[in-house]
Structure 1
Amino acid sequence: MKAMRDVWGQALVDQGAKDPRIVVLDGDLANSTKVDKFAKAHPERFFQMGIAEQNMVGVAAGLASIGQVPWTSTFAVFLTHRAADQIRMLVAQTGANVKLAGSYSGLLIGAVGKTHLDVQDIAIMRAMPDMTVLAPGDNTELLAMMEWANAYDGPVYLRLARDPVPDIFGADYTFEVGKVRVLREGAGVALVTTGTQLSRVVEAADLLATAGLNPTLVHVPSIKPLDADGLRAAVGGHDLVVTVEEHSVLGGLGGLVAETLTATGPAARIERIGLADTWGESADNAYMLNKHGLSPERIRDRVLTVANQVLASHVG
């Protein structure tokens, strides 16, 4: 397994070699996010903006207006919170061709500190009109998304993780914006997840199979736009739909799935697993996943509990 930040940094180098329009703007975190690779390979197209994320987004919008393809790079929490106004006014409202990379997203950077955790970024970015929001499940999907984003003319938010992630997809993987991916066909229970939480949900699905359930597993790499009909088709006919995300249960994947499934009439029972409207804390990864119910074992236990309730209600 390779760290997603290393794959991301090298992919920028490689794409920069093919496309001279690509420029990178960094918020004083190049050695952490690994865009220092781009700085060494293409120093004339690397701009160190310092701890000034608002200015970084403004400069990126300006560069996009003269035909460059700017990628901004900083931690997700600094990008989606500190620079939210600039993203809204200068990028989303104008449709500027700016690619916004939110590194160190989610829970698993507890060692860096509580203030650096961002589990609200999906809710913030998907609420912005004209913003594409993508969350890769592994490094193969990340590379495919980056290729797509470079070719797409418009704002893109890419949610990145720090640590190594297991390989899920093969070399033949092709990214299609909006499309949901059914990784496992089952019955009764459907598990829906996004981003790097995918690998833990794959493990949970295996544990549930051992426990006697045969869950369908659906991955949503494209938070926005979303093929709503595709999602409804993937989970249709299931008694229980469980969303699992390394994000707040408010406004993230769980909200998206609930909105989509109930838009056309009554839906199955929807259970949302994620951070229950609380802050993260400074702690190691295993502790964080266990506390917030996101480890494979905790997911299994939650699904079994709720599935038994649903089954009992049907019998009654």
Structure 2
Amino acid sequence: MTDCICYGGKGGVGKTTCAAATGLSLAAAGKRTLVVSTDPAHSLSDSIEADIGPEPTELKLAGALEPETNHAAELWAVEIDPETQQERYEKMARALAADLRSAGISLSDAEIEQLFSGGMPAGSDEIAALDLLVEYVDSGEWDVVVLDTAPTGHTLRLFDMPGVMGRALETAQSLRGQARRIGSAARTAMFGPLSMFGTDGDDESLESFQARLERARDVLVDPARTEFRVVLIPEAMAIAESERLVTRLREADVPVERVIVNRVLEDPHEGCPRCQSRQARHEERLAEIHETFPELEVVTLPDLEGEAQGPESLSVIAERLPS
């Protein structure tokens, strides 16, 4: 089975760096690995220093992260294009509503709200991420999928989306049933906008899409397959937001085993009072993090004095991260 490692947290704490370093380390250890970025503000390409598009692209390893085994290192990366996916889902939802009205079906305000609330079109990038995650996991092409999620709010919507979309799809199914009762003309009108869920004329296509979202949730909450790692930096606001994130993830039954504390100053310059003070502050914050998350493993990553980009910098991070 394909395993999943998810990185999430406050914006700007280094989630992409951790995901990229983990992907490189896993690939170097002989694991067929795919790194997926769901963050609309993609920086995975910059971190790995490679051209990455909306389709999985195979990358080449070099330098310190060449394969550690006799197997060839296999690493792919993909940046999900939220704009394209949003257009896809928004078009489907609006076409569905228009065709239902043209077929003479009355849409209540509550039904319209269920069709569009939380997922269409506002959350279409999260829907796309879930849909594609199932595709990547079920393809069998990779041993591990490393998910670089968007900042906290988007990440939580990602885990809420199967339930939200489940309600919307149930409403759509009810409305489709009404269309069946008023004749074949209405049914034909319905299949056009719903064709994205499966082949034309496939009565089970809507249910199939809902099943994929439910499967995505099953994968994300399976502790035998998935681990969510919360990334933060040694600052009060990041600690508070990470505590809220861990709480919400646990409420959603998402397995969380460790927190990753990035950019910790470990070796300050001698004769630099400001550096010494910063190190002392970081030590205080680390003690607070251990107290806040007593049941989680705390992994610290060094401050590299700048963004970690390219194999050489990422190898320093990869050495400290669990595979």
- Tell me the TM-score normalized by structure 1: 0.30
Higher helix residue share: 2
Higher relative contact order (CA 8 A, sep 6+): 2
Point out the structure with the larger strand share.
Answer: 1
TM-score normalized by structure 2? 0.29
Q: Over alpha carbons, which structure has the higher Rg?
A: 2
